[in-house]
Structure 1
Amino acid sequence: MEVEAGLITVKPVSWRVEHNMAGLGNLSVVEYHSHGIDVFDVKSCSGVENAFYPQHIVTLIKRPFVFNANWEGHHFQKPWHKGSVVFIPAESTLTHQANKPYDETVIRLKHELFVRAASDHVDFSQIDFAMRDVTSFGTWKFGIGLAAVVMDESYREWPLLVESASVTLTLALIRELSPHSTTAFKEVKSALSGFRRKRVLGYIDDNIHRQISLTELAAVANLSHYHFARKFKNKMGMTPLQYLADRRVEMAKRLLRTTSDSLVEISMACGFASQSHFGTVFKKVTGTTPASYRFSAT
């Protein structure tokens, strides 16, 4: 057990770990972990003392308070409102006291995510990694969205969705952190050409039996995460996640019609995380269950 950023971090045995902090008033923390993203839902926090942040921290304020803080030799006294978003950079230390207990959602992001998100789209040298108010419509909405995805157990079988949400939040943060945000973002002229599109679609078909990440698909296209996702949707009329789901369902329909394989075997062959995941996606796309489809096709 170790203390980090005012939270007691316990190595999780599952995706969700809950703590009631003995000796720290009514402070309680629930940890959620999904595909490299960590989320902490914190209630009744009153401050931290020499909290070291090894990774970037995004804090979504849910209950207003005023804090007195010292961050890397800089003193702050600032009121935070419900809906405020605070960025604390990696490898820094913070001490602060609040005038009253407050609630927050904390998202921990690796620096590599910022590097990948900014690739060939942002002038990385213009990003000012410092503790600051990064409140905007995008950072709040995208932060709440990513936290909701990670905190909802039903989305744990959708790694591409978690990854896409984390990249979207990171880009919104980069725009706020850059002092020249209107000029730092560069127009990328390379498109998802016919050759690149064919290569990506072929890669999906060749690897459809396993989990495929947005990182892999962007690398195959030789484009950044954000640029690839945007160009793919423009060209295909759907997101990479939607296309992947449709291809898996088409493969499952063929196997349901032509084989006697069990639903578990078909779900594994088509790259679904589980039979329940298979059933949920299949019904969403076709309007019927796999069993009903097989019965009607015979």
Structure 2
Amino acid sequence: MFVKVYSRLNKQEPFLVPAVREPLIVWVMSGEAVVEERDLDGEWVANTVTLGDFFLTRSPTPYEMRWRAIGEAPFQVMHLYLSVPLFERVAYDVLGCAAPPALRDISGGKDTQLSHLLSLIHQELTSEGKGSQLFIQGLAQTLAVHLIRNYASSEAPDDRQNALPGFKLRRAVAHLEEKLAEPFNLAQLAETVGMSEFHLSRLFKKATGLSPSRYLIRQRIARAQLLLQETDTSIIEIGMSVGYASPSHFAQVFRRETGLPPSHYRRG
């Protein structure tokens, strides 16, 4: 199980939710927001969510999300990935099947029991010096049972043997984010993840819809957008901090990705 808590900006630009092997739950811990989702280049679909609402996905294809917070409370969410081995063991115990079932995609759902389990997991993980690994493992198994009992799909499970494991994707993304200001180096990225360049490129694109180099460009521009919104740093310095020594090249890439030159984006 992998858990991460995010305190979100009031307005989040579109970002990719990758397709990985693990089921993903996004649980709203605080605040209220209008959250929009879409398939790549598809139409946006909006849901208004508040404390306790959740998203569930085990989508075989990547998609995009964005949101706008409502009200004064900070919009805070928890991301939780259940490991594939755990999910498979629980599926076999509950259903007697070797392959775990497909799960229905849920957007802005309400589930009191699920919220209670997620709250217990968060409390246990954040307790100072008192967290129990055994208790966490029990909660993770209980959570997997709950998902299979309540959200299993009648559709045949998708083939995920060739999907990129979530921990390898997270390692690759973390490496790219650390190297935003450096030239793209696929060989170094593949070595960090522990895969061949060919297999990393193929599975990374399957997970995110983008090649590693294209994903790096998206991350560079997302960082630049954040700096333009939240700092007074000069546009030239921002461009250099995300890997563009030439201001004209930075402006060209930024406009291609966002539809606006950096100066207009900052004023907006």
TM-score bracket for this pair, using the shorter chain length: 0.3 to 0.5
- TM-score normalised according to structure 1 size: 0.42
- Larger RCO, structure (CA 8 Å, separation 6 or more): 2
- More strand as a share of residues: 1
